[in-house]
Amino acid sequence: MSRQKILVLPGSSGRNGSDRYEQVYATIEREAGRRDYDCRVISYPGQGGKMSGLLNYSSALATTLMACHEFNPDRLIGRSFGCVVAAGALGSEDEWVNKCKEAILWGPGFRATLDRLFSTTEKKLEAIKGFADYDTFLSPDYFDTLPSIENLIGIAKCNLRIARGSGDKYNTKDDLNYLAAVHHRMQPGYSREVVEVSGLIHEVIQAEVSSEELLARYFGCLFDPIIVNT
């Protein structure tokens, strides 16, 4: 039997943004390896130094579609901004979508949250400069061209688990329930679950999790099969 293929779509900071984010993705990769999955974490343009390009939704989506066509994943794991990219990718007509059994959206990023945090041109420019300090280069239109995940979730042709840690500052349980309701209305032939893991935050690092039981709940959220409604 071939190994299950899992493709991880990172947030806007990616794994190279800081040692902290490197640990976030290393935590996922270690557990995937323990379960004998073939797991890859992609990088978007702008996350591999300035020469790699600039990051916005369009460049991330194009890179993701190319990676999915090549890798043919059984499962997507999106984090934060990566949830938006995953939803868009799963709305494509590419053949790999038919093979992809499920997608996990951990800590979805919402356009409304960004609009609130970066409400002026000055704040957006300051944020772009801040990302560059961590070797991540955002396109000048990054904030203005990011689509709302609420408008993309309905085209995602896949079983979904929409999840968050209870301490996530960037979304609420009601936000996730709303996404599930939209997906149910637009894609009734697929299943979806909403999961909130009490005691976790947006960035989960194995060394910071308070108990093995809590860590197991996180890993179960990322790797356990989604219960399909028949």
Q: Any idea what the CATH number is for the domain that residue 29 is in?
A: 3.40.50.1820
What's the CA gap between 121 and 104, in Å, rounded? 33
Helices (H) and strands (E) counted in the chain, each on its own, are 10, 6
Structural domain of residue 214, as residue ranges? 5-223
Answer yes or no: is 229 within a domain. Answer: no
Q: How many domains does the chain contain in total?
A: 1
Answer yes or no: is 119 within a domain. Answer: yes
What's the CA gap between 193 and 185, in Å, rounded? 14
Tell me the pLDDT band of 157, cut-offs 50, 70 and 90.
Answer: very high
Answer yes or no: is 108 within a domain. Answer: yes
Answer yes or no: is 181 within a domain. Answer: yes
Q: What is the pTM of this model?
A: 0.95
Condensed to tens digits (0 to 9), the pLDDT of residues 66-114 reads: 999 999 999 999 999 999 999 999 999 899 999 999 999 999 988 888 8
